[in-house]
Chain A
């Protein structure tokens, strides 16, 4: 009796369409420039935005997850191990990178979704620590502290994605796919997620089968994170435990919070700006963390809607005034 109580929203809203158009437009960038720097920054942003969307899905239900690096690792290592068996077909790999983390998320979700609020945060943090230790302790499968290098390029319809430009195009494709999945999920279940975000106990007492939507969100978020891992491994040509360090979860959370958690444009705008800003620091990239810190403080204390939310409010005010 769950779904029938709540009206279903239109499949895609303005923000969702805008986000999809942004990534469709990204395909044009590698055609217009040969700059290695542009390729590098764009590629980092395209990986980051997928991971940030995984965080954002859970935030729709007021759950902050630090587990994204763990699921990214599953997706990334799946592709790396498949590469050792010379499996490079993009459709096969994309399906595997999405489905395997999602499958792992089913039993894990049954465990961790019993917990709410801060307890959930702590447990997802523990999960990403466990994954990090597992990567080091299973050298037979994952190469241990050496990781897996020499991953063959992904093959798209007979073409190997070997050059910088092709890798960026591939990352565009993954980001677009992830955005479409995220947009459809969060739009279709908008009311359900919002009810859980607002007041879970009330939602449950009104007949919403809360665990079903939380589990669905968790599983899809894991699959999206797996896609981010696929994209990351393809960019780096190697799968290494340090790429999936639990500290990177902080970056993805920062992207989402700074961009704004109310709309899907939040993680998109947040990631784009933060990755760009990080590159402005040049060789002093570690200082970007300080910038994230300051911006998080500002957003939480003063601009609760993040960048996107603040811009929306400003636009509304300007419209009201005119």
Chain B
């Protein structure tokens, strides 16, 4: 029973991290129609920026996390404005652009920080005890921040004018533009919001898991998995799917070990695509 509860806590905490990543990914797809292959790269970049701030500049960790969010968001903004914007209606071209950016980013990190894992530790350690169940404090802190960020994103998207504008562009770009919404301002903003979320996740999670140039690939694969499961472009679907993926991963690693859990999830996603290509909560699929 303890093991069951413990795995549940880990699963929910993983789910919250995946939700932040998947929300960013699905936001970019929903609003711009771009599949962002550099999403894992921004996660990695967030981790490295936070590490560099703490280790090289001696900045306190919370400030380093903010710096990571700022850097990844700024880079996302510039990248969208200068490159993606030119070809925003061509799915394959924008996909290639983000893939190219990802390759450049990971090579740059390799050049600056080397191929080995960094010694980057979460500043809070220890565990809370609820009867027989231990919950690692670092996971709880990350869970808290992730849930706050998800709430914040929800408020921005559903309670502010910018959010309404972004959702309008996602619903129907032509009509939204006819109403006077300006994609030239809003697309970079959406991209920056999403890459900032990826950077935030990276800055929070890499000290707990690990930080090396190789961390981006699994993150990208998990983001894909989650958004396909939830339905590309669907925010609620992405959040729901993220928690499903996190919980399945946690329980399967406790009870089966190895990569069986991942295998089950991937096959599940493949089958879902056959019977329900729009995912759990997706509606109409853009270009599918």
Please give, as numbers and ranges, the residues of chain A lying within 8 Å of B105 by CB-CB distance.
293
Contact: A290 with B104, CB < 8 Å? Answer: yes
A136-B104 CB under 8 A given contacts A118-B91, A130-B270? no
Q: Which of B48-56, B190-198, B217-225 binds A?
A: B217-225
Of the listed residues B33, B87, B92, the one surrounded by the most CB atoms of chain A closer than 10 A to its CB is B92
Q: Which residues of B contact A293 (CB under 8 A)?
A: 99-105, 107
| A115 and B277 contacting across the interface, CB-CB below 8 Å | yes
The answer to whether A111 and B263 touch (CB under 8 A), given A117-B288, A300-B96, is no
A286 and B115 in contact, given A126-B269, A294-B100 (Cβ under 8 angstroms): yes
Given contacts A111-B274, A126-B228, contact A64 B104 (CB under 8 A): no
Contact B102 A133 (CB under 8 A): no
How far, in angstroms, from A136 to B262 measured CA to CA in the complex?
12
Contact residues in B for A164 (Cβ distance below 8 Å): none
Contact A300:B100 (CB < 8 A) given known A118-B91, A119-B277, A126-B266? yes
**What does the 1/0 interface line of A237-255 toward B look like (CB < 8 Å)?**
0000000001100100110
Is A10 in the interface zone, CB < 8 Å from B? no
With A119-B232, A119-B288, A122-B228 known as contacts, the answer to whether A301 contacts B103 (CB < 8 A) is no
A109 to B285, CA, bound (A): 20
Chain B residues lying within 8 Å of A250, measured Cβ to Cβ, are: 99, 103
From 110 to 127 in chain A, residues with beta carbon under 8 angstroms from any chain B beta carbon are 111-112, 114-123, 125-127
The majority secondary structure among interface residues of chain B is helix
Question: Contacts A286-B110, A289-B106, A294-B100: A126 and B259 contacting too (C-beta < 8 A)?
Answer: no
Most buried by B among A116, A136, A300: A300
Question: What is the number of residues of chain B that contact chain A, defined by CB distance less than 8 Å?
Answer: 47
**A272 CA to B39 CA in the complex, in Å?**
30
At the interface, yes or no: B165 with Cβ under 8 Å from chain A? no
Output the nearest chain B residue to A127 by Cβ-Cβ distance.
Answer: B270
Considering the complex, give the chain B residue whose CB is closest to the CB of A132: B259
In the docked arrangement, what's the CA distance between A297 and B106, Å?
15
Range class of the A interface residue count: 35 or more
Q: Are B221 and A129 in contact (CB under 8 A)?
A: yes
CB of A281, distance to nearest CB on chain B (Å): 11
Nearest chain-B residue to A119 (Cβ)?
Answer: B288
Residue B93, interface by CB 8 Å = yes
Q: Report whether B266 and A116 are in contact in the complex, using a CB–CB cutoff of 8 Å.
A: no
Query: A257: which of B96, B217, B221, B260 is its contact (CB, 8 Å)?
Result: B96
Q: Which of B96, B262, B274, B287 contacts A133 (CB 8 A)?
A: B262
A136 contacts which chain B residues (CB < 8 A)? 258-259
B75 adjacent to chain A (CB < 8 Å):
no
Chain B neighbourhood of A289, CB < 8 A = 103, 106-107
Nearest residue (CB) in A for B83 is A301
Does A130 contact B267, Cβ atoms closer than 8 Å?
yes
* B35 interfacial contact with A, CB 8 Å: yes
B88: interface (CB < 8 Å) = no
Interface digits, A81-93 against B, CB 8 Å rule (1 contact, 0 not)?
0000000000000
A221 within 8 A of B: no
Task: Pick from B91, B99, B263, B270: contact of A123, CB below 8 A.
Answer: B270
User: 21 A-B contacts, Cβ less than 8 Å apart?
Assistant: A112-B273, A116-B288, A118-B288, A122-B228, A125-B224, A126-B225, A126-B228, A126-B269, A133-B262, A133-B263, A134-B263, A250-B103, A254-B103, A287-B111, A289-B103, A290-B106, A290-B107, A295-B100, A296-B96, A297-B83, A301-B87
Query: What 10 A-B pairs come out closest when comparing CB atoms?
Result: A293-B103, A290-B107, A296-B100, A119-B288, A117-B287, A293-B104, A297-B100, A133-B263, A293-B100, A118-B35
